[in-house]
Chains A and B, each alone.
Chain A
C-alpha cells in the first residue's frame, strides 16, 4: 500500500506495524502528530495498544521503562526539550537493559524559541547508552522503527533505540511511502522478547544498590551491547531487505564512494541535499562521494576507516555544536580515521535551528575543503552577523547608560 504522508504519521505506522502494545508520550512540537496518529489508530480499533497520556516527558520515559519491564513492547516519541527533560531516565532505560524504541524529532533547543531542525538534542544525549539511528527519508523512518525493535530486542543487544529524524523537513513535509504488509513485518519481527521481566512466578529485584565491585561490569556489559549492535544493525537491514523490502544502508549509507577522492559526511535530511551536491560536483568532473551516518551510536568506525582513509579530503556537515570544542560529528569522524591514511578532515557547522542548507552551498564548501581553502577546524560559513544581532547589545547599553545617568 502506498501513502502520501508526513514523517510523523509514518513513524506512527512503524509503531503500528511493529505491534507496539504500550505507548507513553507527552506532546511537543514537532512530534505531536506521532502520538495523535497512534491514538487515532487505537480509537479506530486498528491497533491493540494502551496509550498513557502522561503529564511530562520525564514520566513518559518512566512509564515506558516500567511497561517494558512488565514484558510488553513499548514505544514513545519526543523532541528537543522533551528529550532533555527525560535525560535522567534515558540513562535509566539503557542501564536497566531493556529493549524499547523511541522516536526523536530533531529540533533546536531554546532559548531562542525554535521548533525547526537541529541535531543538538540527540547529540547531547549521546552518552546515555541508547542506540541512535538517524533517518533521511519518510520511507527510512518507517523501515527503521520496525528494524529498531529487532535490534533492541536482540539478545546480544538489549538496549533502547532512538530513531531520529529532522524536524519539519521530515516530520511535517509529505512524501510517498510504501506501507509493507503486516504479514511481512511479522515474519521479520518476532514477538517481544527481553533478557528479563517482572515475573510473579520468579520474583527478582532489578536496579537496587550496586557496589564498586560490580558496577564496572554493568557499564562494561552496556558497552559490549553497543559493540554487538554494530553487527545486529547491519544484519537487521539486510534481513529487512530480504523479508520486507527496502534498504537504507547499515551503519552508513555510502553514495558514489567507489572511486571517490573526496567525501562529504552528513546525517539526516542534509545528507539528501549533499547527495545532489555530489552529483553536481561529479558533473563538474570532481570525484566526490557521500557517507551518510545512519547510526550515530554505535559509531561506524570500521566503515569510516574503510571509506574515508584512502581519500584526500572529507568535509563533515555538523548540525550541532559541542561548545568549547567543535562539531561533534567532526570529532567522531576524525577519531575514527586517526592514524589511518592521509585524509584531511574539515568541518562546517550549519543548518542550526532549521536554517536551509542548499546543495549549492554544500558544493561550494566541499570544493573549498578539497582545494585546501578551509581551516582544518570547525568553520561557520553560514553565520552572517548583521544589524539585528546587535540590537539587543545596543539595547542593554542604552538601558545601563540611562541607569548610570540617574
Chain B
C-alpha cells in the first residue's frame, strides 16, 4: 500500500476545530480511510471531543457517540453486544467495526480499568490511543504517558518518573492484536488498521501524536518530530500477533542495520518541552540516562536479530 493507493473517500470531514498541525486529526483521517464506512465510533473525552467541532455540526462522517473520560472499554462492550443482537435479529447484515478513539489520559490513567476489563472479556473492537504524552485538551498536564524529563504545566522542571508502557500491558492481556504507529509512517499505520479490521476480539493500536502547542514546536513540524521520535528510538513501531512481536517501518530498519539510530538529543532539541535539558546548561545526567535506556533496548534487539540470522545460517549435521 502506497500513499497514492489510499481510498479517496474522506470520512473525516472539513470544518474540524483542530489546532494547526494537530496529530490527532491527521491520525483519525488515516484510521477512517483504512476502516471505511461500516464503523461505529465512540470518542472518549480528549482533544477529539473538541476538534470534531461543536454542536450542531460535526467533522466526523461516522455515527459517533461521545462518552465520558473513563468509559472507553465499557462503551465498546455495550456497542459490540448491541451490534451482535442487531446482527442476530437481521437488522444489520454485517457487524460494524467498533472503534474507540481515546487520548493517553483516557487510556493510561482514568480509562485503564475499563480498557483492561474490555480486553479481559475480549470485547470485539479496536481501541485507539492517540498518545500526545500529556493532557493536551486541558492545557498540557502530565499523564502516565509523559516521558521522563518532559516539561508539562505540572512538571515544570521535567517529569521525574518514567512513562508506563500500555501497549505492553495490552500485550500482557493476551489480546489478538497490539500495534504501535506513527504519523511519519502513514502507510505502516494504514496497514495496521487494515490488519486490525480483519481480526475479531480486542485490538489495540497506539499512535504517537506530537502536539505542537503542548510540546512547543512549530505546527508545520508535527511529522518531522514524529519521525525523529522513531529515528532516535523514543518511539518504537511494532505489531504483536499470535504471541510474536514484529518490528516495522523505521524501527525495523534500525534493528536490521539499514539505518542508524540517531542520538536522542536530535529529538529532544526539536521541541520546547525538553528545553531545560539544554538551557541554561546541558543536563548531562538526564540526557545520558535517556540515551542509555534507548541504546540498551536497541543493542539488545540488534544483537538478537544478528543472532537469529546467524543461527539460521548454521547447518545442522544430519542425525545418526
Interface residues of A (CB under 8 A from B): 21-22, 24, 48-50, 52-56, 58-60, 62-72, 74, 88-89, 92, 198-200, 202-211, 214
Q: What 0/1 readout, one digit per residue, does chain B (52-88) give for beta carbons within 8 Å of chain A?
A: 1111101011111111101101111111011111101
Check A70–B70 contact: CB distance below 8 A: no
- 19 A-B pairs within 8 Å (CB atoms) are namely A52-B77, A54-B77, A56-B114, A58-B71, A59-B113, A60-B74, A64-B78, A66-B75, A67-B79, A69-B65, A69-B78, A69-B79, A71-B82, A72-B85, A74-B82, A200-B37, A204-B58, A208-B52, A208-B64
Q: Which residue of B lies closest to A59 (CB)?
A: B74
Check A22–B74 contact: CB distance below 8 A: no
CB B243 to nearest CB in A, in angstroms, measures 25
Check B54–A24 contact: CB distance below 8 A: no
Query: Which of the residues B84, B114, B121 comes within 8 Å of A58, measured between beta carbons?
Result: B114
Q: Which residue of A lies closest to B78 (CB)?
A: A66
Q: Which residue of A lies closest to B59 (CB)?
A: A205
CB A63 to nearest CB in B, in angstroms, measures 3
List residues of chain B with CB within 8 A of the CB of A208: 43, 49, 52-55, 58, 64, 66
Check A24–B70 contact: CB distance below 8 A: no
Query: Which of the residues B52, B79, B91 comes within 8 Å of A66, measured between beta carbons?
Result: B79
Does B175 make an interface contact (CB < 8 A)?
Answer: no
Other A-B pairs, 9, CB within 8 Å; known A48-B88, A70-B82, A205-B60: A21-B85, A24-B81, A56-B117, A58-B71, A62-B67, A62-B68, A65-B65, A66-B79, A214-B56
CA distance A66 to B73 in the complex (A): 11
CA distance A379 to B162 in the complex (A): 57
Interface residues of B in 22-63 (CB under 8 A from A): 37-38, 40, 42-43, 49-50, 52-56, 58, 60-63
Does B96 make an interface contact (CB < 8 A)?
Answer: yes
Query: Which of the residues B55, B63, B67, B91 comes within 8 Å of A65, measured between beta carbons?
Result: B67
Check A52–B38 contact: CB distance below 8 A: no
Does B302 make an interface contact (CB < 8 A)?
Answer: no
4 closest Cβ contacts across the A-B interface? A66-B78, A55-B117, A59-B74, A207-B66
CA distance A71 to B85 in the complex (A): 10
Check B74–A72 contact: CB distance below 8 A: no
CA distance A210 to B50 in the complex (A): 10
Check B85–A198 contact: CB distance below 8 A: no
Query: Which of the residues B55, B64, B73, B114 comes within 8 Å of A203, measured between beta carbons?
Result: B64
CA distance A198 to B60 in the complex (A): 13
Q: Which residue of B lies closest to A205 (CB)?
A: B58
Check B114–A66 contact: CB distance below 8 A: no
List residues of chain B with CB within 8 A of the CB of A199: 63
Check B74–A210 contact: CB distance below 8 A: no
Does B266 make an interface contact (CB < 8 A)?
Answer: no
Check A58–B82 contact: CB distance below 8 A: no
List residues of chain B with CB within 8 A of the CB of A89: 68, 71
List residues of chain A with CB within 8 A of the CB of B50: 209
Check A24–B114 contact: CB distance below 8 A: no
List residues of chain B with CB within 8 A of the CB of A200: 37-38, 40, 63, 92, 96
Interface residues of B in 84-108 (CB under 8 A from A): 84-86, 88, 91-92, 96
Query: Which of the residues A52, A66, A88, A210 comes within 8 Å of B54, measured between beta carbons?
Result: A210
Please judge, given known A-B contacts A55-B114, A72-B82, A205-B58, whether A62 and B71 are in contact too, CB under 8 Å.
Answer: yes
CA distance A49 to B81 in the complex (A): 9
Most chain A Cβ neighbours within 10 Å, of B50, B53, B68, B91? B68
CB A209 to nearest CB in B, in angstroms, measures 4
CA distance A50 to B88 in the complex (A): 11
CA distance A92 to B66 in the complex (A): 10
Check A55–B113 contact: CB distance below 8 A: yes
Does B120 make an interface contact (CB < 8 A)?
Answer: yes
List residues of chain B with CB within 8 A of the CB of A21: 82, 85
List residues of chain A with CB within 8 A of the CB of B76: 66
Please judge, given known A-B contacts A22-B85, A71-B86, whether A66 and B55 are in contact too, CB under 8 Å.
Answer: no
CB B122 to nearest CB in A, in angstroms, measures 12
List residues of chain A with CB within 8 A of the CB of B116: 55
CA distance A72 to B84 in the complex (A): 10
CA distance A72 to B87 in the complex (A): 11
List residues of chain B with CB within 8 A of the CB of A210: 54-55
Check B121–A52 contact: CB distance below 8 A: yes
CB A186 to nearest CB in B, in angstroms, measures 15
Please judge, given known A-B contacts A59-B117, A203-B61, A209-B55, whether A24 and B68 are in contact too, CB under 8 Å.
Answer: no
Q: Which residue of B lies closest to A49 (CB)?
A: B85
Please judge, given known A-B contacts A63-B75, A207-B66, whether A198 and B40 are in contact too, CB under 8 Å.
Answer: yes
CA distance A67 to B81 in the complex (A): 7
CA distance A48 to B85 in the complex (A): 9
List residues of chain A with CB within 8 A of the CB of B67: 62, 65-66, 92, 207
Q: Which residue of B lies closest to A211 (CB)?
A: B54
Check B74–A203 contact: CB distance below 8 A: no
CB A182 to nearest CB in B, in angstroms, measures 17
CB A298 to nearest CB in B, in angstroms, measures 25
Check B78–A70 contact: CB distance below 8 A: yes
Query: Which of the residues B56, B71, B84 comes within 8 Å of A59, measured between beta carbons?
Result: B71
Check A54–B117 contact: CB distance below 8 A: yes
Q: Which residue of B lies closest to A191 (CB)?
A: B89
Interface residues of B in 290-310 (CB under 8 A from A): none
CB B175 to nearest CB in A, in angstroms, measures 15
CA distance A210 to B56 in the complex (A): 8
CA distance A300 to B116 in the complex (A): 43
CA distance A210 to B210 in the complex (A): 27
CB A85 to nearest CB in B, in angstroms, measures 11
Most chain A Cβ neighbours within 10 Å, of B38, B56, B64, B92? B64
List residues of chain A with CB within 8 A of the CB of B121: 52-53
Check A22–B81 contact: CB distance below 8 A: yes
CA distance A22 to B67 in the complex (A): 19
List residues of chain A with CB within 8 A of the CB of B68: 62, 88-89, 92
CA distance A199 to B61 in the complex (A): 11
Q: Which residue of B lies closest to A218 (CB)?
A: B55
